[in-house]
Amino acid sequence: MKNKLTIVKIGGNVINDDIALTTFLTNFASIEGFKILVHGGGKKASKMAERIGLTPKMINGRRITDAANLDVVTMVYAGLLNKNITAKLQQQNCNAIGLSGADANLIKAHKRIVKDIDYGFAGDVDEVDDKVLKILLENNLTPVFCAITHDKNGQLLNTNADTIASEVAAALASAYNVYLIYCFEKKGVLKDINDDDSVIENIDSESYKELKQKNIIVEGMLPKLENCFYALNKGVEKIIIGNPSVIVNKDEKYTSLKV
């Protein structure tokens, strides 16, 4: 019988709110059994870029990463955010280890091929080393991934944190019963972006197509949902999208996804 593994991706405004982030990390630390945390931090990176005179650029919910902005996201994701999160988890007696994809060669990627849009130093994942991750987990360490990968040729790459979460979940699905939770400030996928209570509680592949056609799911939610269905098709047991309180509050509304 396979052990349960909970993978949580945290992002959105929760990352920018110290109180909300601390509450989330306290709840995450209380999860029993094996767990992995993946964090974003795009808004903090954008603010840092603006402070030093750079202009962040987004297309279809994805960041354009030139060389200067790659330096910024690496400093913010792999440095400031990752180490603060790791330290706060240690405070909660969760033996966390902060990681990028370059550490222990855990996540190899390639620079995204230019088609219609040049995303710069954006990385698309090629391989996750599940063997090393299992060693960490089995030794009671909790990996904390930032959104930085590498190409094994010395180049760091900015990789969507939702993608990292889904790729890590897919890589470990054969060894564990994987539950993947995407947490952000909303209660789930919404029918009306202006109504926080309009949660779509269940989405499958067919209803997802309809929601896209009706422009209910747009922009940044599109890559998130694509990652969800990718992971489900690779054997991930369950995926939910919701407010961070879903970790401890079973009565909280959220969006559940199935193939």
Tokens of 187: 């209660």
More reliable by pLDDT, 250 or 38: 38
Q: Is the pLDDT of residue 141 over 90?
A: yes
CA distances, 140 to each of 73, 97, 221 (Å): 29, 10, 33
pLDDT tier at 179 (50, 70, 90 boundaries)? very high
Residue 116: predicted pLDDT: 87
Asked whether the predicted pLDDT for residue 60 surpasses 80, the reply is no
Which tokens hold the place of 232?
């489900």
For residue 91, give every residue at least 6 positions away whose Cβ sits within 8 Å of its Cβ, in sequence order, or none: none
Contact between 142 and 35 under an 8 Å Cβ cutoff? The reply is: yes
Q: Indicate if the pLDDT at residue 62 is higher than 80.
A: no
Evaluate if residue 250 carries a pLDDT over 90: no
What is the spatial distance between Cα 241 and Cα 201, in angstroms, rounded to a whole number?
9
Residue 125: which residues within 8 A CB-CB, separation 6 or more? 101, 107, 108, 109, 149, 159, 163, 164, 167
3-state secondary structure the chain: CCCEEEEEEECHHHCCCHHHHHHHHHHHHCCCCEEEEEECCHHHHHHHHHHCCCCCEEECCEEEECHHHHHHHHHHHHHHHHHHHHHHHHHCCCCEEEECCCHHHCEEEEECCCCCCCCECEEEEEEECHHHHHHHHHCCCEEEECCEEECCCCCEEECCHHHHHHHHHHHHCCCCEEEEEEECCCCCCECCCCCCCCECCEECHHHHHHHHHCCCCCCCHHHHHHHHHHHHHCCCCEEEEECHHHHCCCCCCCEEECC
Provide the edge-to-edge strand list for the sheet that holds 156-158: 123-128, 107-111, 148-150, 156-158
The bridge status of strand 142-145 relative to strand 34-39 is parallel
Percent of the chain with pLDDT over 70: 99
Around Cβ 104, how many Cβ atoms within 10 Å? 15
pLDDT band at 61 (very low <50, low <70, confident <90, very high): low
Residue 249's pLDDT is what?
85
What is residue 182's predicted lDDT score, i.e. its pLDDT? 96
Among 57-71, 116-130, 238-252, the least confident range = 57-71
Q: Quick one: which of 69, 48, 58 has its CA closest to 121?
A: 69
Taking residues 140-168, what's their average pLDDT?
97
Domain ranges of the chain: 4-257
Q: How confident is the model at residue 4 (pLDDT cuts 50, 70, 90)?
A: very high
Q: What is the CATH number of domain 4-257?
A: 3.40.1160.10
The residue ranking higher by pLDDT, 193 or 156, is 156
Could you tell me whether strands 148-150 and 156-158 are parallel, antiparallel, or unpaired per DSSP bridges?
antiparallel
pLDDT tens readout for residues 108-137: 999 999 988 899 999 999 999 999 999 999
Helix axes 130-138, 161-172, angle to 10 degrees: 80
Q: What is the mean pLDDT of residues 163-167?
A: 98
pLDDT in tens, 216-243: 998 778 889 999 999 999 999 999 999 9
Q: Which residues does 77 contact at the CB level (< 8 Å), separation at least 6?
A: 39, 40, 41, 45, 100, 146, 147, 148, 158
For the entire predicted model, the pTM comes to 0.95
- CA distances to 26, 48, 225 from 256, rounded to whole Å, are 23, 34, 11
The mean pLDDT of the chain is 94
